[in-house]
Amino acid sequence: MAGATRELTRDDGEIIYDLMMKRYIQLSQVGSKNSRTSDNIDEQYKVFMEEHMDFTWTPEGLPSELNAGRAIGVWDKGELRMIVTQRFATRRLPTWYVGNMITDPEYNNFYKVTKGMAEAIDGCAEYAESKGYTQFYWVTSTKAWNKREQIWYNASKTFKRYNVFIENIIPAGEEPKFDVEKMLLGYRPHPTDLAIKCAKIKPHIRHEHFQKQGLLKVNYNPLQEEKNEFNK
């Protein structure tokens, strides 16, 4: 086990700030393209707390438009080592996305923190599915994704139940043209190539769900999972 994971609250505010400070100090080192100041950190912390605390659902079963995010902490030996955020689309489609992954730069156990991230994503996906959300997005650098995501995928229950797609790759210094992609990238260009990825629950799992609800009364075989000349 990588350690405990749980939803963060305002009572965790001080340790959330400390973790963000560690991360931003790392990014502010000489030669970094991501120069930060104390004002940046304070503003980022303020926005983070406003957008990821006190999450609620409306009576219609939609996320509050004032606060559409949750934050999950990954702990090891009683210390907060990583934060994974979950934000929900509000009105258009039942999708959610991983908004932030903040890792303690002093924590050198890469394998344990990546497994912790997998556990956090599993918890987010389970929660989202209970609300009817079966698709999510995240952004990762193309430079170093293989090692991190291989451990993440292998340790995660979610990625055994979801199909994963590369939606787009945004070259360094460029901005995407689609609104959702702009939002995922924080409305700014980045100094490295970034991939926008999407995970969607496998068709047969979704169909089994509808069958259990009595909404699908036939044994529908998803075309994507039929054996044919393309996937023998």
In the sheet where 194-201 sits, what is the strand order? 5-7, 69-76, 79-88, 95-103, 135-141, 194-201, 162-170
Alpha helices in 91-231 (DSSP H): 110-130, 145-155, 179-184, 203-212
Would the pTM of this model clear 0.85, i.e. be above it?
Answer: no
Taking the domains of the chain in order of start, what are their residue ranges?
5-220
Give the H/E segment covering residue 228.
none
Which CATH code fits 5-220? 3.40.630.30
In tens, the pLDDT along 141-196 reads 887 666 767 777 888 999 999 999 999 999 999 999 998 899 888 888 988 899 99
- Residue 229 has a pLDDT of 43
In tens, the pLDDT along 36-83 reads 445 578 888 998 999 899 899 999 889 987 777 999 999 888 889 899
Distant-in-sequence, close-in-space partners of 195: CB < 8 Å, separation ≥ 6: 139, 140, 141, 142, 145, 166, 168, 169, 170
DSSP class per residue in 57-114: B-TTS-B-SS--EEEEEEEETTEEEEEEEEEE--SS-SEEEEEEEEE-TT---HHHHH
* Residue 42 CA neighbour count, 13 Å, CB half: 3
In tens, the pLDDT along 77-127 reads 888 989 999 999 877 889 999 988 888 887 767 677 778 888 999 999 999
33/45 Cα distance (integer angstroms): 20
Please state the separation of Cα 139 from the chain's center in Å. 8
pLDDT above 60: residue 231: no
**Strand, helix or coil at 223?**
helix
